[in-house]
A and B are shown apart, each in its own frame.
Chain A
Amino acid sequence: MKSIEELERIKEETLQEIRLRSASGSPRIVVGMGTCGIAAGARDTMLAVLDELRKRKKLDVTVTETGCIGLCSQEPIVTVEIPGEPEVVYGKVDPDKARQIVVSHIINHKPVEEWVINVEEQML
């Protein structure tokens, strides 16, 4: 049986490890690809993201997908996650917007405020 102090130390070490791991991780772009996303054009949005990353040789960015998050009217939805920065959710992202998000947010670290959606507000 470990003492309370020992358990506290293990917890602290583990948390530190998680913080380090997420801070050093690569940026992630998540495209909503549920039925609602697909019907709204998420496939072309996804292809535009991939193409823009390829053109700019940003090979360290992870692109992935998610299902319906309950905001179907805002699809195609793209979420940008950069370690150490707040997560940003964009709505109604067509291929043109997707390319601009890659350039402005991923490359220049400037989120495109205009297209950001407030998830909590939308859920009400």
Chain B
Amino acid sequence: MVDLSLHLLDLLQNSAHAGARTVKVDILESLEHDLLQVKVSDDGKGISSDERERILDPFYTSSDRKHVGLGLPLVAQAAELAGGSLSIEDSELGGACVVVNYKLNHPDRQPLGDIVATFVSFLAGNPDLRVLFTYCGPNGVYHFDTNSIWDDIGEDSRNQLIFLGKVEEELTQGLYSAGYRPDRGGLVL
């Protein structure tokens, strides 16, 4: 994975496959604490304490169709290379909560990448899932909720492509005004 938005897409897919109906995503960029935090919290079936011990082993998977589970180990590796870590907690929504911390200014911290593309492609496959997203960037805080997009569209023109178009428009506007930049990596030149 070349940037953090692809790791985020993988984490979102995990939530969807755990049967989540609501996923809450928080991304925090704090210069003051030299921290970039990505948090994905859901109301899916959760991860048992037994599984938590094995889940970062690439040869462990909950699937019976394959023999490896590379998603979370890859996320953890990228975090560790950037002076951070991955932890799994219980979510206040009832499922699992994955918290990934990176040192914001670590030279090996991958850039955020295209967060808008991640949400649009995720929602294309999971249109019924509610996504709540908060971005705390250098210029402010931005909140996003798929329910308010559906409300704006109105009953008559509820269509997947129209919905995704609105998601893209809304996220692009909100994220950039909060100071988001897809290509800003750890190495500040």
Q: Which residues does A use to contact B, with CB under 8 Å?
A: 31, 33-36, 38-39, 42-44, 46-47, 50, 53-54, 59, 62-70
Contacts and interface: CB of A to CB of B under 8 A. Distances in A.
Interface of chain B, main secondary structure: helix
Contact of A43 (B74, B121, B159): B121
Contact of A35 (B65, B70, B122, B124): B70
- Among B6, B13, B118, B120, max chain A CB count under 10 A is at B13
For the complex of A and B, 3 pairs with smallest distance between CB atoms: A65-B125, A35-B71, A46-B121
Contact of A50 (B9, B17, B120): B120
Interface string B113-124: 000011011101
B33 interface: no
B120 A47 contact: yes
A44 B5 CA distance: 12
Interface of B: 1, 6, 9-10, 13, 17, 63, 65-66, 69-71, 74, 117-118, 120-122, 124-126, 159-162, 164-165
12 contacts: A31-B124, A33-B122, A35-B74, A36-B70, A42-B121, A43-B6, A43-B117, A47-B117, A54-B161, A65-B13, A65-B125, A66-B125
A47 B124 CA distance: 9
B126 A65 contact: yes
B10 A35 contact: yes
Given A43-B118, A65-B124, A33 B9 contact: yes
A33 B1 contact: no
A47 to B, nearest CB: 6
A62 B160 contact: yes
Contacts of B124: 31, 46, 50, 63-65
A66 B63 CA distance: 13
Nearest to B1: A39
B160 A63 contact: yes
